[in-house]
Amino acid sequence: MKNIYSNIFSFNKKTLNKSVASLKKGNVVGLPTETVYGLAGNAYSKKAVKKIYSMKKRPKKNPLIVHYLNHTDADKDVILNNDFYRLYKIFCPGPITFVLKKKNKSKIQSLVAANLDSLAIRFPSHTTTRSVLKRLNFPLAMPSANMASGISPVNAYDVANEFKKKIELVINGGDSKIGLESTVISLIDKPQILRPGVIGLKTIDKFLKVKIIKTNSSIRSPGMMKKHYSPGIPVILNQKSAKENCALITFGKRYKDRPNFFNLSKNSDLKEAASNLYKTFRKIKNQGYKKIHVVKIPNKDIGIAINDRLKRASN
Ligand code: TXA
Ligand code: MG
């Protein structure tokens, strides 16, 4: 097979050095995380941050998440409070992002946070990205490695297909286990979920002293644009069937195997469904379908995050 993926590298000492050198020069690289793949750059470097926005064609008002190895590193840039430490102890490193007040003396480029006085921070658990972070004396601004408003990549090939030759290096860390972006929670004032993820509100609530506020759609994350996570073809929700030329995304064992049926989880396992969602969108698109119907997905646990993404994909 012709190697069209000359920019994808497996992870070893040599490619670790290569990515570290590239990041130190202010370049951006594709890195694996447990949620989705990210487009990483030095959060203290104007050159790197500008490059992230321009490569993704991302609106400047949509702030980026900054990734750290641990809370000691994050303490340089944000004010860490008790709620943060409670959740950090339980869930980190892992698929949760905290929005906190930025410190005045922080070296984070103001463009990273879209000139807000808050900052979103995350501690990814993927060992590859942690190895990279260990070698750096700066944190990584890292949005999902896809063009703005599209679907997040869940493996190295998705990233390379998204940016083609424009990305010089993607580290292959296998399929992202979770397959959906991190839960985003604001811990400024009262805790509030800004983006649902695999760690759900009910799970988080147990570890906080005050109740999480139910999200009011008008004060969500600035990046939670109505149209987002779009596969680029119409997505229609709560359907029961689809004609042959339309793909049907199904869930559970009552759906038959048909060429145009794509089951997210035959066992009705929402975790499995979450990890298959973006993969399935890409597969359907690649097979040339012009439209996607989706059956009703239970709106509980991880289903809440799945339905959030589906709703935005359908806008
Ligand atoms: O799982 C993830 O979080 C992935 C991996 C790569 O870490 N990253 C990711 O980044 O999903 P991105 O840029 O695609 O999504 C960042 C989300 C956006 O909805 C953005 O609006 C929100 O985080 N966000 C970032 N900074 C914020 C801030 N200061 N206040 C409120 N929301 C913020
Ligand atoms: Mg994204």
Cα 241-308-283 angle, rounded to 5 deg: 55
**Residue 40: how many CA atoms within 13 Å on its side-chain side?**
31
Q: Which two tokens stand for residue 131?
A: 């190895």
Ligand 1 centroid to residue 243 C-alpha, Å: 36
Output the pLDDT for position 218.
45
- Which residues pair with residue 262 across a beta bridge? 249
- Residue 149 Cα to ligand 2 middle (Å): 7
CATH number for the 8-212 domain, one of 3.90.870.10, 3.40.50.970, 3.90.1150.10, 3.40.50.10540? 3.90.870.10
The total number of residues written for the chain in this structure: 315
For the chain, the first-to-last Cα distance in angstroms comes to 38
Please, are residues 120 and 141 in contact by the beta-carbon 8 Å criterion? no
Q: Give the model's pLDDT for residue 247.
A: 98
Q: Which two tokens stand for residue 33?
A: 């995380």
Q: Would the CB of 62 count as within 6 Å of ligand 1?
A: yes
Q: What separation in Å is there between the alpha carbon of 307 and the centre of ligand 2?
A: 16
Residue 122: which residues within 8 A CB-CB, separation 6 or more? 65, 66, 67, 68, 96, 97, 98, 182
Sign of CA dihedral 64, 68, 73, 79: positive
Domain 8-212 shares a fold with domain 235-314: no
Handedness of CA 304, 310, 313, 315 (dihedral sign): negative
Which atom from ligand 1 is nearest to the alpha carbon of 146? 14
Interval 130-173: pLDDT, tens = 999 999 999 999 999 999 999 999 999 999 999 999 999 999 99
Check pocket membership of 43 for ligand 1, CB cut-off 6 A: no
183 CB near ligand 1 (under 6 Å): no
- Whether the upstream peptide bond of residue 93 has omega within 30° of 0, thus cis, is yes
Q: Whose CA is nearest to atom 15 of ligand 1?
A: 143
Q: What fold is seen in the domain 235-314?
A: Rossmann fold (3.40.50)
> Are 30 and 169 contacting, i.e. CB atoms less than 8 angstroms apart?
yes
Query: Comparing C-alpha atoms, which of 313, 302, 295 is closest to residue 150?
Result: 313
Task: Report the pLDDT value the prediction gives residue 27, as an integer from 0 to 100.
Answer: 98
Residues of the chain predicted below pLDDT 50: 218-219
Ligand closest to Cα of 108 equals 1
Note the pLDDT of residue 210: 85
Strand 140-141 to 96-101 pairing:
unpaired
Q: Is the CB of 142 under 6 A from ligand 1?
A: yes
Each domain of the chain, given as residue ranges in start order, spans: 8-212, 235-314
What are 88-141's pLDDT values in tens digits?
999 999 999 999 999 999 999 999 999 999 999 999 999 999 999 999 999 999
CA of 283 to the centre of ligand 2 (A): 19
